[in-house]
Amino acid sequence: MNQDQLKQQVGNKAVDLIHDQMIVGLGTGSTVKYLVEALGEKIKHENLTITGVVTSKATAALAQKCGISLKTVDQVDHIDLTIDGADEISSDYQGIKGGGAALLFEKIVATNSQKNIWIVDQSKLVDKLGKFPLPVEVIPYGSQKIFERFVKEDYQPTFRLTSTGQKKKTDSGNYIIDLHLQQIKHPHQLALKLKRQVGVVEQGLFLDLVNMIIVGTVDGPKIIQ
């Protein structure tokens, strides 16, 4: 099975956790794409009433195409569960997210959800976080100064670029600085330090947030909770 098939496997499996009348946070990325498509089919076949709360413009467009009703996080009084992908998950179930530049809305939706489920193929499981570059979302004004501070800290920063070499803008119009840290020894300390920088909007460490992980493997989906 290739990586894409494993993503499809967990996307399809996660749909079993969604039931009639639920309000569901929908993450962003190539794994979540399979979930959203499968959810659209389930709603049609079982005639369900589901409300989706999306984490990006890309997921909003796909969910609408699949016939899923949407509300914003501010229009709902709760979110029953959120299902999202992840870029890295450590052996103590902490995560890096934001490879798709949607970390800010993903964290807002996740922290307003009663339950968080990550769906990943097995390549995302690591011992310690940090091989995957840690995304930091910063407002454009003063972002060069933050970048220079990150250089001094030896965080090996790079601005995330588009295919045409422009600085990538998030759905909120911010920039992403990726930190090439190789290994994050103290994720909680680093998260606090990054958040304290004026101009940093959010960072991609998702700590103490996940309740269940569904991992795609060649032997079928494996559930960790």
Sign of CA dihedral 82, 85, 87, 92: positive
Question: Does residue 99 interact with ligand 5RP by CB under 6 A?
Answer: yes
- Give the residue ranges of DSSP H helices in the chain: 3-14, 30-46, 57-65, 103-111, 143-152, 187-195
49 is in an annotated binding site: no
| 37 in catalytic set | no
**Alpha-carbon torsion, ordered 191, 33, 30, 217, to 10 deg:** 90
Q: Is 36:59 a contact under the CB 8 Å cutoff?
A: yes
User: Which of 29, 40, 187, 216 contacts ligand 5RP by CB under 6 A?
Assistant: 29
Dmax (CA) of the chain: 56
Stretch that binds ligand 5RP, among 17-25, 35-43, 85-93, 139-147 (CB under 6 A): 85-93
48 versus 169: smaller Cβ distance to ligand 5RP: 169
* Span interacting with ligand 5RP, options 68-76, 81-89, 190-198, 207-215, rule CB under 6 A: 81-89
Least Å distance between CB 118 and ligand 5RP?
Answer: 8
Tell me the C-alpha distance between 7 and 121, whole Å.
6
From 8, 9, 28, 82, residue interacting with ligand 5RP (rule: CB under 6 A)? 28
Is residue 31 part of the contact set for ligand 5RP (CB under 6 A)?
Answer: yes
